[in-house]
Amino acid sequence: MRYTEEHEWLRVEGDVVVVGITEHAAEQLGDVVFVELPEIEAMVAKGDEVCVIESVKAASDILAPVDGEIVAVNEALSDTPGLVNEDPQGDAWFFKMKLDDLSVLDEFMTEDEYKDFLG
C-alpha cells in the first residue's frame, strides 16, 4: 500500500491500482452523503479531479494520483456513500486505474512514511 499527500491510498492488484481515501481523510471529512464517480474508460492525468465527495460539511475532490485509464468504479458508493466512513481502507475503494508503468508508484509514501507525514 502506498499513500499520497492528498490522503489517498493506492493498492496494486495485478496490473491495476485501486484508489481510496485514508481513515484520516474520512475522519476529517465527516459523514459522507454523496459520491460522484468517474466514467469507466476515461483517460485521466495526474492531478485531474476525478471524484467528488460531499460530506455533511463540504464538498471535496479526489485527484487522479497518476496518469492512466479508469477501468472500474465502486458503484456501491453511489447508493451507500456512508461506506466511506465505515470502511475507508477496505470496501470503500473509489476506482481502479490501469497504468503503463506501475513503478511510478514508488514515488509515493509507504505506510510508515505516511504515519510520519500525519505527525
Partner 1 sequence: MPDPDLKRTILHPLHVALGAKLVPFAGYEMPVQYPMGVMKEHLHTRASAGLFDVSHMGQVILRPKTGMAALELGLEALMPVAVQGLQEGRQRYGLFTNVAGGILDDLMFANRGDHILIVVNAACKHADIAHMRAHLAEVAEVEPVTDRALLALQGPEAEAVLAGLVPQVRAMRFMDVITVDTLYGALWISRSGYTGEDGFEISLPEARAEDFARTLLAHEAVAPIGLGARDSLRLEAGLCLYGHDIDEETTPVAAGLSWAIQKPRRAGGAREGGFPGAAQILAELETGAQKQRVGLRPEGRAPMREGVILWDAPEGGQAIGRITSGGFGPSVEAPVAMGYLPAAMAAPGTRLWGELRGKRLPATVCTLPFRPSTYKR
- Per CB under 8 A, does 31 bind partner 1? yes
Measure the CA–CA gap between 39 and 34, rounded to whole angstroms. 16
- Per CB under 8 A, does 118 bind partner 1? no
Nearer to partner 1, 79 or 106 (CB): 79
Minimal distance, residue 65 CB to partner 1, in Å? 20
Region 41-100 residues binding partner 1, contact defined as CB under 8 A: 52, 54, 56-59, 78, 81
At residue 26, what are phi and psi to the nearest 5 degrees?
A: -60, -40
Q: Which residues pair with 52 in a beta bridge?
A: 36, 61
Binding site for partner 1 (CB under 8 A): 30-31, 33-34, 36, 52, 54, 56-59, 78, 81
